[in-house]
Amino acid sequence: MTDSDGGGIPLIGDKFPEMEVTTTHGKMNLPQDATENGKYWFVLFSHPGDFTPVCTTEFHAFAKRNDQFQELNTRLIGLSIDQVFAHLKWAEWIEENLDTKIPFPIIADHGNVASTLGMIHPGQGASTVRSVFIVDPQGVIRIILYYPKEIGRNMDEIVRCVKALQTADENGVAIPANWPNNELFGDEVIIHPANSVEAIAERKANAGKEYECLDWWLCHKKL
């Protein structure tokens, strides 16, 4: 049972819960305002608290990659259980001391959003863990990542996740490990396995033409 059904936290494949939030850019209705009703992807990420060391490095890193996310038609949204005034002051500090402007909104949560999305770690106080929700333009949650408070995230992996999801969606393919630098196939993609006798025969017949196969269930191709 997921939140959209009235209980539990949302899972991959669920619709992102509808909610009104207060941010450093004003009020927002999620997921509608973030996707602009079907135009954009968005990445919602939580951090344990403003004015903390690891979180500061993360916000700096996200801001440095904001252009990459924009090129992927993707918006960033931060969140922690802090007041909006703390968010604004922290963003100001980052700009003044690290010469980096925070271009994305930061949600000021009183705990309702974090609880709905399962961001609170039991036994770790009221602050949020480092969670990431990647949401597509239809408002569907596609990836959920959780990190403990003491480990900063790899922002390049989050960029890669968005690229991989969009590539898979646009081309009807699967994405191999470490793509686009897979040890077996480089930047090539995986063709979904055949699921019938006829499909197996077709796969074998076309191997070496439209794609290459190690076997009928493991075929790859360039886009």
User: Which domains, and CATH codes, for the chain?
Assistant: 3-153 (3.40.30.10), 172-223 (3.30.1020.10)
pLDDT in tens, 82-108: 999 999 999 999 999 999 999 999 999
- pTM, full prediction: 0.93
Residue the block writes with tokens 């996200």: 62
pLDDT at 3: 43
pLDDT in tens, 212-221: 999 999 999 9
d(CA 36, CA 129) in angstroms, rounded, equals 27
Q: Mean of the pLDDT values across residues 49-76?
A: 98
| Catalytic (active site) residue 55 | yes
- Report residue 7's pLDDT band, with 50, 70 and 90 as the boundaries: low
CA-CA-CA-CA torsion sign (4, 164, 42, 123): positive
